[in-house]
């Protein structure tokens, strides 16, 4: 059965347009609540959100749905996605919900679901819930005396703050670091600066004045210009930029240069290897991570397993292989010793703790490898299967032969738009540009 609602990361869309309407959120609450109502205990769900205006619309609709099937609701307000996953486990809830569209603009929103173990749901679970949302298997409503109740947890911020601090060894602080943290006017606007301050860093917070509209607007991990300027103007040692739901991180060194997820994973991998904290001497990263990262960790004796794009696929590989480190170039970094999903703040803490220990500047310490020249171009098409055309297949084969063992090509259709993404990387920038150009030209002609 094709899926109408669930995508690669929950349900997402334009606010107040299907599927992001109160009516659908109500049905999601009833369906997910019914799916996780098993056994005779009192069932609980925890709901967090980011700072979008539409969160005020979707949250009560979800509450109505959950309480209608007899599930009690804990409301935690604006809270990072990884905090919702953590609190779901800590409070022994049957289900966790995050209302967020991550790094998207304010006018989008989404609903992410976590099981009682804090992990995102399996495809099979999502299919069964979707069947109830669409009416193919309608949920059973609770009797009047068995309706659920809703309660706001006033100490949720403090619980996550203490959890985040505890990911550093006892006695370890960030004393001596001057840090700018950009919270993207999103879910971490209160907790992230507090964690850094309580760990004794000198903190300059920006992106901490959400108004319902300014989440991710020219700030955060997808727009690091603001952070770069702030780090330089304040003479800071480094900067951290989170996205709207704080599961993504990029950093900026004292010179204002961006440090992407690949470099951050390299820092953590080498640091954890030295500390004996990589039990399998392996990690997972997507096909988009730079070849330089792979060569760097391989030289350390660390295996790198490639996955499809998406943090859920990274996590699947980590669980299959027994890895405790994985992530994406975009800054989703999963540290499974601490979290069941990407956590930008906790990843940042690991990097900063190692930086303090080294006594080096961020520009030196956080540059572990020289990235291979990498080029990505998108080709829009009107449908059909241009990748199957012989001319396109011939262009791809020629490109692979030209790059040989000194580079690689990744070609993938977009899961949300009529686009084909063409990426190549290698030691020779001009060759990379040439092979990408040849493939794009072939695709454009095939799609014409």
Tell me the CATH number at 25.
Answer: 3.40.120.10
Task: Answer whether residue 366 is part of any domain.
Answer: no
Beta bridge partners of 241: 182, 250
Number of structural domains found in the chain: 4
Determine, yes or no, domain membership for 435.
Answer: yes
Same domain flag for 318 and 299: yes
Distance CA(214)–CA(224), nearest Å, equals 15
Where in the sequence is the domain holding 406, given as residue range(s)?
374-447
Same domain assignment for residues 235 and 172 = yes
> Is-contact 252 238, C-beta < 8 A?
yes
Residue 130, domain member (yes or no): yes
Task: Check whether residue 10 and residue 145 sit in a common domain.
Answer: yes
Burial of 343 from C-beta contacts in 10 A (0-12 / 13-18 / 19+): buried
Tell me: do 272 and 250 sit in the same domain.
Answer: no
Residue 167 CA to residue 158 CA, distance in Å, equals 15
Enclosing H/E stretch for 285: strand 282-286
**Whether residues 185 and 96 fall in one domain:** no
Say if residue 55 is in the same domain as residue 193: no
271 is catalytic: no
224 and 289 belong to one structural domain: no
Structure token digits, residue 67: 């309480």
Task: Select from 257, 290, 311 the last residue of a domain.
Answer: 257
Q: Do residues 43 and 94 touch, judged by C-beta distance below 8 A?
A: yes
Asked if residue 388 belongs to a domain, the reply is: yes
One domain for residues 119 and 171 = no
Q: Are residues 244 and 174 in the same domain?
A: yes
- Reading the chain (448 residues) residue by residue, the pLDDT tens digits are 457 888 877 899 999 999 999 999 999 999 999 999 988 899 999 999 999 999 999 999 999 999 999 999 999 999 999 999 999 999 999 999 999 999 999 999 999 999 999 999 988 999 999 999 988 777 899 999 999 999 999 999 999 999 999 999 888 999 999 999 999 999 999 999 999 999 999 999 999 999 999 999 999 999 999 999 999 999 999 999 999 999 999 999 999 999 999 999 999 999 999 999 998 899 999 999 999 999 999 999 999 999 998 888 999 999 999 999 999 999 999 999 999 999 999 999 999 999 999 999 999 999 999 999 999 999 988 877 889 999 999 999 999 999 998 899 999 887 667 889 999 999 999 999 999 999 999 999 888 7
Spatial separation of the C-alpha atoms in residues 329 and 259, rounded to whole Å: 10
In Å, what is the CA distance from 106 to each residue of 60, 257, 418? 18, 27, 24
Note whether 203 and 311 are same-domain residues: no
**Radius of gyration for the chain, computed over Cα atoms and rounded to the nearest angstrom:** 23
pTM: 0.92
> Does residue 230 sit within a domain?
yes
- Do 296 and 249 share a structural domain? no
- The residue from 257, 288, 316 where one domain ends is 257
Distance, CA of 59 to CA of 115 (rounded, Å):
18
Indicate whether 416 and 435 sit together in one domain.
yes
> CATH number of the domain that 434 lies in?
3.30.310.50
- Per the residue annotation, which of 54, 100, 102, 289 is the catalytic one? 102
Instruction: Judge whether 360 lies within some domain.
Output: no
Assigned domain for 389 exists? yes
How far, in Å, CA of 327 to CA of 342, rounded? Answer: 8
The two tokens of residue 382 are 């009107």
**From residue 102, how far is each of 44, 182, 220, 284, 439 by CA, in Å?**
24, 15, 11, 22, 32
Residue 295 resides in a domain:
yes
């Amino acid at each position: 059965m094709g899926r109408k609602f669930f995508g690669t990361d929950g349900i997402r869309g334009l606010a107040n347009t299907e599927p992001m309407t109160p009516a659908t959120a109500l049905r999601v609450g009833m369906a997910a609540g019914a799916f996780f109502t098993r056994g005779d205990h009192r069932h609980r769900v925890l709901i967090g959100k980011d700072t979008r205006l539409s969160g005020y619309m979707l949250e009560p609709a979800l509450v109505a749905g959950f309480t209608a099937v007899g599930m009690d609701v804990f409301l935690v307000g604006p809270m990072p996605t990884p905090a919702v996953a953590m609190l779901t486990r800590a409070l022994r809830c049957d289900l966790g919900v995050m209302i967020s569209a991550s790094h998207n603009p304010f006018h989008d929103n989404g609903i992410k679901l976590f099981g009682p173990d804090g992990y995102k749901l399996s495809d099979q679970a999502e299919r069964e819930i979707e069947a109830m949302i669409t009416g193919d298997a309608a949920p059973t409503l609770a009797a009047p005396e068995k309706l659920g109740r809703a309660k706001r947890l006033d100490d949720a911020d403090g619980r996550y703050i203490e959890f985040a601090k505890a990911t550093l060894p006892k006695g370890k602080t960030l004393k001596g670091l001057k840090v700018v943290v950009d919270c993207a006017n999103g879910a971490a606007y209160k907790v992230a600066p507090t964690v850094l301050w309580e760990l004794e860093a000198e903190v300059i917070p920006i992106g901490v004045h959400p108004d319902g509209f300014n989440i991710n607007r020219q700030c955060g991990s997808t727009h690091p210009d603001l952070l770069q300027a702030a780090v330089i103007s304040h003479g800071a040692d480094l900067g951290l930029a989170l996205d709207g739901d704080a599961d993504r991180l990029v950093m900026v060194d004292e010179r204002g240069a961006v440090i992407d997820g690949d470099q951050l994973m390299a820092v953590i991998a080498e640091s954890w290897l030295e500390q004996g904290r990589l039990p399998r001497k392996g990690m997972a990263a997507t096909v988009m991570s730079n070849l330089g990262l792979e060569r760097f960790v391989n030289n350390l004796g660390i295996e790198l397993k490639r996955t499809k794009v998406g943090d859920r696929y990274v996590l699947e590989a980590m669980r299959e292989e027994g890895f405790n480190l994985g992530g994406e170039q975009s800054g989703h970094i999963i540290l499974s010793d601490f979290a069941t999903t990407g956590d930008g703040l906790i990843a940042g803490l690991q990097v900063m703790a190692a930086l303090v220990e080294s006594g080096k500047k961020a520009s030196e310490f956080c540059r572990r490898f020289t990235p291979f020249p990498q080029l990505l171009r998108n080709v829009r098409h009107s449908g059909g299967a241009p990748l199957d055309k012989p001319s396109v297949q011939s262009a791809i084969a020629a490109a692979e032969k030209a790059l040989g063992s000194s580079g690689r090509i990744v070609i993938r259709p977009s899961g949300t738009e009529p686009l084909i993404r063409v990426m190549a990387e290698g030691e020779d920038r001009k060759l990379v540009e040439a092979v990408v150009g040849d493939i794009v030209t072939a695709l454009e002609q095939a799609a014409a």
